[in-house]
Structure 1
Amino acid sequence: MIENSTNHFGRIDANPYAWPFDGEWSSGDTALLLLGFQSGIVRGLAAEAERDTAMRLIEAAGRRGLAIIASRRGQDPEGGALARRRAVLGDEVPTKGSPDWQFDDSMSLPPAAIIVDHAGDNAFFGTGLEDTLRRHGIRNLLVTGLPTDGLVHATQRAANDMGFECLTVFDACKGTSPGRHDAQLRITTFGNGLFGAIASAAAIEAALGSHQE
């Protein structure tokens, strides 16, 4: 059952600071952001565990009334300069409408989920995502996705520059290698949280389960 009233939550045990920095977050001003949980990416990264963790968060966030936003990265059928460059670098961007471009079959998104399609790593670039968040009064983002060293980091850095308070859910993300995943998390927390904070899905679920009046 989804709660329609605005729920306020306690701060999350995160690194390098208790999130959010100002101690205020609620179902009315926070969104769960799911980046790149597409069939080809989940399969290519063997990210079934991270996908399942994200699914748990979808359920928990949905029960508390948080906005849920999911992004798909894809190229137009005719390709383009970005797609050609990515292919040379070994990063094949799925074609829009192809099976690999679709959300993973196990991802169960609620009917009200907002879908964002983009060509590059940054889900804000050329998509109107920022305007969507502003219209919904969102200022806090719980960030999940694939890969950590691609969509997750590029999008979170952009969000940080726009003034959104970001929390990377580190076990609902996976990099193209363990080392790259860990490196991006270190960059996120650099300088006492230059690009935000990081926390486990369990810490977020605990906070969502103990909302304040």
Structure 2
Amino acid sequence: MISISCQYNRRFDLDPQHTALIVIDMQRDFLAPEGASGVSGFDLSPLRAIIPRMQNLLSAAREHGVSVFHTREGHRTDLADLPETKQQRSLQAGAQIGAPGPLGRFLVRGEFGHDFIDELQPIPGEPIIDKPGYGAFYATDLEHMLRRKGITHVLLTGVTTQCCVNSTLREAVDRGFFCLTLADCCASFEPALHDATLQIIASEAHLFGWIANGENVICALEKHTFDERNRAIEQTA
């Protein structure tokens, strides 16, 4: 069991074999200037700032036995799974879902913009969850896949904090998973919304779980592996 130091003097205990890192929507449509968010005029710099930290966290998770799941928000090529309300919102934002853009049709599965950024591509064997909504459990097999692997604890990262990350967090909490949101590995276009979401997570005696930084997780995983190796050496000495 690993104990991670969290904000507000709390600790999050996990077993790597029963823990999943969920990397939420690190797609070109949200992080590339030619993608849907860039074309809509959003400031991408807060989102892109977390990429190096997420690369480090992803490497540590892979090295130390934490399962990794990647999610992508997007819709069928015929847009049959796109609600009218969401379509209208995307039109008002300036990049209508399904319309042609520099990286292909905005937020349509199979298009270049829908795929992950180069820096955070999945490796073979890591599940990809294609979701039509903001939460990763809605209209997907994510819960079934987590249960089948024996996952009880989830680490949440990605974009944006107040939308898809928080929606997924709330769905996970309702399903009984122990949830740790990694504050420095999530981001919003507006930092104030990021900060407000973290305050909501911690409200009412931590209604939506724990909050920590990715570096805390990396350090805890590395220490655990180091201690395990030392114990193994001592037992064989």
Same fold (TM over 0.5): yes
- Asked whether 1:159 is paired with 2:175, we answer no
Please list the CA deviations of residues 59-86 of structure 1 after superposition, one character each: whole Å capped at 9, or x if unmatched: 0011111100000000222223254143
How many residue pairs get aligned? The number is 202
Change in 2 beyond 3 A, CA 1:28/1:89? farther
- Give 1:86's match in structure 2, choosing from 81, 84, 89: 89
CA contact (8 A) 2:57 2:215 kept: no
Change in 2 beyond 3 A, CA 1:193/1:86? same
The corresponding residue for 2:218 is 205
Q: Distance in 2 between matches of 1:28 and 1:209?
A: 15
What TM-score do the two structures reach when normalised by structure 2?
A: 0.80
1:45-56 → structure 2 map (5 Å cutoff): 45-46=44-45, 47-56=47-56
CA contact (8 A) 1:16 1:192 kept: no
RMSD: 1.7
CA contact (8 A) 1:31 1:138 kept: yes
1:37-52 → structure 2 map (5 Å cutoff): 37-43=26-32, 44=38, 45-46=44-45, 47-52=47-52
- Asked whether 1:32 is paired with 2:21, we answer yes
1:51-200 → structure 2 map (5 Å cutoff): 51-79=51-79, 80-82=82-84, 83-88=86-91, 90=93, 93=97, 94-200=107-213
Change in 2 beyond 3 A, CA 1:62/1:48? same
CA contact (8 A) 1:42 1:51 kept: no
Q: Which has the larger radius of gyration?
A: 2
Q: Distance in 2 between matches of 1:50 and 1:92?
A: 26
Shift of 1:208: 0.7
Structure 2 counterpart of 1:57, which letter? L
Structure 2 counterpart of 1:61, which letter? A
Q: Which has the higher helix share?
A: 2
DSSP-derived class of the 2:194 partner: helix
Structure 1 counterpart of 2:173, which letter? N
Structure 2 counterpart of 1:33, which letter? I
DSSP-derived class of the 1:124 partner: coil
Please list the CA deviations of residues 98-125 of structure 1 after superposition, one character each: whole Å capped at 9, or x if unmatched: 2211100111422121110001100000
What TM-score do the two structures reach when normalised by structure 1?
A: 0.88
CA contact (8 A) 2:131 2:138 kept: yes
What is the percent sequence identity of the aligned residues? 31
Mark the runs of 5 or more structure 2 residues left unpaired by the alignment.
33-37, 39-43, 98-106, 229-237
Shift of 1:17: 5.0
Larger RCO of the pair (alpha carbons < 8 Å, separation 6+): 1
Shift of 1:88: 4.4
Q: Distance in 2 between matches of 1:208 and 1:120?
A: 32
Q: Distance in 2 between matches of 1:62 and 1:97?
A: 26
